[in-house]
Structure 1
């Protein structure tokens, strides 16, 4: 990784972009929000949404249905703040193919983007083409805090902390699991799931559930054998998946565009469904469809703790925070350079290690339809993200308004570096009955979460941009808009580590001023909120429902946009 790029990235890490992300002319790049670490990322077919530690949401990419949430349908070429969500703090995000869902700490679900099948869950009478601004999902029937959300092409799924599953949107292929009689639902409906569910994952037209005791349930469109039931028939209700060679309890699931994956406590990975682009990572390249769970044998040499599926490509994160990828190579979304891509293709599309992150800690990955986002940090700068997220002084403060932007051309290519704000272990989707030790060997059966967001809606985990949050009143008045940010070419002028430290110290000195300004912004936003929502908030609190407990082919030279 280029040392200049490394010095520019904070210890809280950066998001690295690959493929057709719309960012930095689709060149491999990276960005970060200064003083507000990115803690979650999700990808749709063409768009990306990130959530910051202070609860702010930024989006960019394809926006034909308003899925970025900025009130228009123009393509967004750089991370832009979804300000209409203020002062709510967002803690969960999921991207469907052309829609977005978020969950706030106050217990509300919002959706925006495509709503042609009611996938935003607004109401039975509000099924429309799209919503350009965040709109409140009807969650009156949900009386518990939310643990996870996931989204497919035209359906959405929500998991509560007490293990209940709610579904809404299209049921054309049985992806809601409500049987043949219901074709769609415009509001969340409780799914009669057979067991306590601890994880959910949506593919384009199918859905996966993981139960407390490690059972995998699946339903929806059966094309290409992606249900793993031995055929191609669709199933409109949850049905258990059989594993012939199960070595230990299933610990995580991930649904891709037209395929499915799961991994066990010992790190064994299972794959089934469509394999026409090698997205299953199996050695049998001639097998384009596999209708039963099959072990990805090449990954037995590493210990996989997280699997993330896109439309036609897959990412694997190991216990050493290394990244392996397989599947469609179009637009460089496998994070490989040209030479590595050629070697990968010659090796029959087997999982390949992404060497550009060899000196990094890979925290999270989101795979979309045409792009990939990697949240990572430089290994030598790695610190426990929980220490940052739990810091009482800053974590409790509201969003600081992002001001203007200056652009810098970066000389680094596909190798990008980052600094981290990530945990040393992934959170587990299963209850703490089998809490592992710190030893990362397979025998310790460590549990990890697989949420992240699939392109078309999943969930389940090159060109550079630095987003820097300022705190001055002068900048605060210049609220960031698309017009304020232009990606321009000029020579890199990266700050030295010493000057970076000075800059951060100066920003810390102005925290009090920025916080008071942020409070004024919040009060303004709060005064503009609709009465129905306020009533619902009061009702939510009056009922004693607690908020969510989560702390929440060719490659060009990369470029970096710095938000000052």
Structure 2
């Protein structure tokens, strides 16, 4: 039958399928025993398994009974399944049924589960695999450089040698603390530990192993100002630290003010992506739904939090999204990207950082499409304190929001849509192309600076310069994208970038 659900991002069926000699299509037996071990498969998976998209058209037409019926189906939103006659199912399937049957956007393997013998084996998310060396630069007066108590400043990238033999494959930077993820799925932390953001005791100035995660494999980590979030290989989420509000510590949960060691977030499963703002978290499930929790004073949770019941925001809740494949966050605003590359934003919009150019819209309370980005296919979108950087599928960057410290990398050129909000502040309220960059494959946005990684393995930085987080060795703001250089990274290819509050971290390997 045909059952509505979310699609996989790119499909992953790889099994060669035997074709019926007469029809040129898979036999019923082949479909039921190999293609559809759980009774369904996405159209993309079927196409990949058949290795021919034209056969999918024929199969769809046959299952639907007519060309007209087939045309009523949006293939990327439907699953193919088997029954005796394989009829077209009702489009009014219940949400619970759809959630149970849909594998979500993450590409599942078609092999059978050993435990059930028939369920899909979901590989929810995988970590990067290529290890490199960690380099840091910027201001380290709060231990965020990890180079020891005597090294509080680095103008150029400096190797964090203690991690050289740890097989580090990914990095994350928060306001004043950092995480490094090893090939084995373990975490090392350094920086401010006032609210237990490091997930361990011991020296703050030197990277040390996060405690309490020996029995799980971490595949992604994100850092806020006072909280750390880790995603496991089986789609579970662990957090430690706390959330803060304008009034002070809000709490880690309703039950605990500060969480000293990693603890699992109850009620979440099948999570495939995470993002953190200053004091809020977004988690994307394989169903395409987004869950948010933390401080919601600036509407960054995408759901209403009554002021007198702010603790309610500490419990993850769905914000009603569907079909999303990526989440991102700024300090006080949030983002999502759907399967078609459409970008959405919500939260604080005082400088137009949500892409809404109405100066009277200081907050966007719920998820809203970024209208000015509708012509672009968005691959990633992240924010700083009051600015936003969007990466398109073709490797271009667009900036919008606050720009008084050159956070957008647009220089002093007079641009349509710019405005003087005070005598010394400027904002660009509509997404504007950032010129002078090669093809970009990844971005990381700090409080007021940005790092962009090119497909050639070079890093470009711009924005607030006083804290030396742009790595150019100067304290002046970097007006336009500037290629990162340094003796220690000469002849190195950068693999990952992470921009913090007053510092930056990169992961690099010899060319």
Over aligned residue pairs, what C-alpha RMSD do you find? 2.5
- How many residues align structurally? 352
Q: Which residue of 1 aligns with 2:342?
A: 215
1:312 aligns with 2:448: yes
Secondary structure (helix, strand or coil) at the match of 1:289 reads strand
Does the CA contact (< 8 Å) of 1:49 and 1:60 recur in 2? yes
**Deviation at 1:86?**
1.7
Q: Which residue of 2 aligns with 1:166?
A: 291
Equivalent in 407, 416, 438 of residue 279 of structure 1: 407
Q: Which residue of 2 aligns with 1:6?
A: none
Q: Which residue of 2 aligns with 1:60?
A: 190
CA distance, structure 2, for counterparts of residue 294 and residue 245 of structure 1: 13
Q: Which residue of 2 aligns with 1:243?
A: 372
Taking the TM superposition and a 5 Å limit, the aligned residue runs for 1:484-499 are none
Equivalent in 343, 354, 357 of residue 227 of structure 1: 354
Larger radius of gyration: 2
**Deviation at 1:41?**
0.9
Does the CA contact (< 8 Å) of 1:119 and 1:155 recur in 2? no
Equivalent in 280, 285, 289 of residue 155 of structure 1: 280
CA distance, structure 1, for counterparts of residue 397 and residue 164 of structure 2: 36
Q: Which residue of 2 aligns with 1:349?
A: 479
**Deviation at 1:323?**
0.7
Deviation string 1:426-474 (CA, Å, 9 cap, x unpaired) is: xxxxxxxxxxxxxxxxxxxxxxxxxxxxxxxxxxxxxxxxxxxxxxxxx
Q: Which residue of 2 aligns with 1:289?
A: 427
**Deviation at 1:308?**
1.2
Secondary structure (helix, strand or coil) at the match of 2:302 reads coil
Does the CA contact (< 8 Å) of 1:13 and 1:375 recur in 2? yes
Q: Which residue of 2 aligns with 1:202?
A: 329
Secondary structure (helix, strand or coil) at the match of 1:156 reads strand
Taking the TM superposition and a 5 Å limit, the aligned residue runs for 1:324-363 are 324-338=460-474, 349-356=479-486, 357=489, 359-363=491-495
Secondary structure (helix, strand or coil) at the match of 1:334 reads coil
CA distance, structure 1, for counterparts of residue 469 and residue 277 of structure 2: 20
Taking the TM superposition and a 5 Å limit, the aligned residue runs for 1:87-102 are 87-102=215-230
CA distance, structure 1, for counterparts of residue 189 and residue 264 of structure 2: 18
Larger helix percent: 1
**Deviation at 1:53?**
0.9
CA distance, structure 1, for counterparts of residue 406 and residue 442 of structure 2: 18
Secondary structure (helix, strand or coil) at the match of 1:330 reads coil
Q: Which residue of 2 aligns with 1:479?
A: none
Deviation string 1:14-47 (CA, Å, 9 cap, x unpaired) is: 0101112422213432125355311111111110
| TM-score between the two structures when normalised by the length of structure 1 | 0.59
CA distance, structure 2, for counterparts of residue 49 and residue 270 of structure 1: 27
CA distance, structure 2, for counterparts of residue 376 and residue 65 of structure 1: 30
Equivalent in 394, 397, 412 of residue 266 of structure 1: 394
**Deviation at 1:115?**
3.3
Distance of aligned partners of 1:81 and 1:253 in 2 relative to their CA distance in 1, 3 Å threshold: same
Does the CA contact (< 8 Å) of 2:132 and 2:509 recur in 1? yes
**Deviation at 1:89?**
2.1
Distance of aligned partners of 1:71 and 1:115 in 2 relative to their CA distance in 1, 3 Å threshold: farther
Q: Whose RCO is larger (CA < 8 A, sep 6+)?
A: 1
CA distance, structure 2, for counterparts of residue 99 and residue 206 of structure 1: 17
Segments of structure 2 that go 5 or more residues without pairing to the other structure are 1-129, 419-425
Does the CA contact (< 8 Å) of 1:278 and 1:285 recur in 2? no
Larger strand percent: 2
Q: Which residue of 1 aligns with 2:69?
A: none
Q: Which residue of 2 aligns with 1:19?
A: 138
CA distance, structure 2, for counterparts of residue 18 and residue 285 of structure 1: 29
Secondary structure (helix, strand or coil) at the match of 2:371 reads coil
Taking the TM superposition and a 5 Å limit, the aligned residue runs for 1:298-309 are 298-299=436-437, 302-309=438-445
